[in-house]
Amino acid sequence: MKVCVIGVGYVGLVTGVCLAEIGHDVICVDNIESKIEKLNNGISPIYEPGLEKFIEKNMKSGKLNFTTNLKYGVEKGEIIFISVGTPSLSNGQADLSYVEAVAVEVGKYINDEKIIVNKSTVPIGSGDWVSMVVSESIEKNNLNKDVKFNVASNPEFLREGSAVGDTFFPDRIVIGSSSKKAIEKMLELYKPIIEQSFGWPPDVPRLLPKGQKIPVVVSDLTSAEMIKYAANSFLATKISYINEVANICEKVGADILKVAEGIGLDSRIGPKFLNAGIGWGGSCFPKDVSALAYIANEYGMTPQILNSIINVNREQRLKIVKKVQDELKIVKGKTIAVLGIAFKPDTDDTREAPSISIMNSLINLGAKIKAYDPIVKERPHTLSEKVTLSKDSYDAIKDADLLIIATEWDEFRTLDYAKIKNTMNHNIIIDGRNMFNKEKFEDLGFKYMGIGR
């Protein structure tokens, strides 16, 4: 099928590339020239493991094209994905201005029957709103007033750093629409994934056995939109919950790793997303939880659980600052090393990264900070200019009074900590992601502090 994906960010790019890989003709559109230029040279503008080889392969086969020409993409595409950003406004509401701008353009250029798919996370009821915006634009801007279209919601559940695997081997596919035709077309589009019948590179392990059917949830638009918000909010709740339990563990002397293991073995709870640490960041959880809370408030409700998980998460990152103050007493003038800037490993995304609020707070207390991240090389615009970006972990840690692990990158596991011990002023480590063995570090002569242990 011919597909147009508008908005080639973390979600749009992965969606477009994977749809090309399963055999569709995909045109990816973005309004940032430099991004499209990079992609036309086979370079991915985002760090996503395993993506670049699929970009190269499908560009070579002609299945995947990149352009800034939205008109061209809309005219060619039978199915048009909208996956532009929907960032949070200061009051928590989702900013739909980009979605609106694109919907107006789609209405202007739509030339025959299309299916318009919301991939961007949009507030509940926005699917109908997109339909209205497109219809108004056809009325106002399009020469062909009779052109037909249907709207569908197809929320994404991609985790950054594993987005390619999550696309090919999803737990489920959700399709929401009031149009039978739109639903049929979407089922046809995803057929190779639903049936797990697509070809897969022999040297890369499949995450699901060939032929295993993927569950599809077909619903109305609003329920599909709610599934996305409810899923992300539940995952964020699980993390804030285990962080609150970890904080209690610290007081009573329990080990959160054992507690998480013990409760995770209950099949009703499950072991995933029970890693206590400095909390959740990224472009989705903070935005989606705030947006769902905002929607509840719009209807006169008080979303007590959602408000609590936001508060727990905000305070969790500041607990690290408190631990630093308790350890160093005087923070002013002290040198602190921070390993990890990205909001989680295997991504270059620093949006709402806990590491950044922690570093900015410590800078405000007068600390000198040296930070290192294996992938994030450019200073995020949200990070204080006073933070020094180091070229590697050892450079960041040298002469430090204290080390903070903020992101659990694999490469931090294999550092030579016996050597590191002799380069630090004081051997204090705050393991913000509980990635290390406490006893091992204590045997090396470190004062080790984790979260909830």
Q: Measured from the CB atom, is 96 or 396 closer to ligand UDX?
A: 96
The residue from 72, 169, 198, 273 that contacts ligand UDX (CB under 6 A) is 273
From 197, 231, 203, select the one nearest 217 (Cα to Cα): 231
C-beta of 161: minimal distance to ligand UDX in Å?
7
Name the minimum Å distance from CB 67 to ligand UDX.
11
Return the range that interacts with ligand UDX (CB under 6 A); candidates 72-80, 97-105, 298-306, 356-364.
97-105
277 is a site residue for ligand UDX (CB under 6 A): yes
25 binds ligand UDX (CB under 6 A): no
The first and second tokens of residue 63, run together, are 């299945």
Among 66, 109, 285, 448, binds ligand UDX (CB under 6 A): 285
Can you tell me whether residue 25 is helix, strand or coil? Answer: strand
CB of 118 to ligand UDX, least distance (A): 9
Q: Please answer whether residues 105 and 70 qualify as being in contact, where contact means their C-beta atoms are separated by less than 8 angstroms.
A: yes
Task: Quote the CA–CA distance of 351 and 281 in Å, as a whole number.
Answer: 7
Residues 182-241 that bind ligand UDX (CB under 6 A): 232, 235, 239
What is the DSSP code (8-state) at residue 92?
A: S
86, 290, 355, 427: which one binds ligand UDX (CB under 6 A): 86
> Catalytic residue at 249?
no
- Closest distance to ligand UDX from the beta carbon of 199 (Å): 25
In the complex, what is the shortest distance from the CB of residue 181 to ligand UDX, in angstroms, rounded to a whole number? Answer: 25
Is residue 170 a contact point for ligand UDX (CB under 6 A)? no
Q: How far apart are CA 289 and CA 121, in angstroms?
A: 11
- Which string of b and e fits 125-138 if b means at least 16 CB within 10 Å? ebbebbbebbeebb
> Which among 18, 28, 249, 284 is annotated as catalytic?
284
Nearer to ligand UDX, 35 or 334 (CB): 35
> Locate tokens 């029957």: which residue?
113
Residues 6+ apart with CB under 8 A from 428: 327, 328, 401, 402, 403, 446, 447, 449
Alpha-carbon torsion (345, 347, 348, 352), positive or negative: negative
Amino acid at position 390, single letter: S
The gap from C-alpha 430 to its chain's centroid, in whole angstroms, comes to 25
Q: Binding residue for ligand UDX (CB under 6 A) from 158, 164, 342, 424?
A: 158
- Catalytic residue IDs: 284
Residues that bind ligand UDX (CB under 6 A): 6-12, 30-32, 35, 83-86, 98, 101-102, 119-121, 156-160, 232, 235, 239, 273-275, 277, 279-285, 343-344
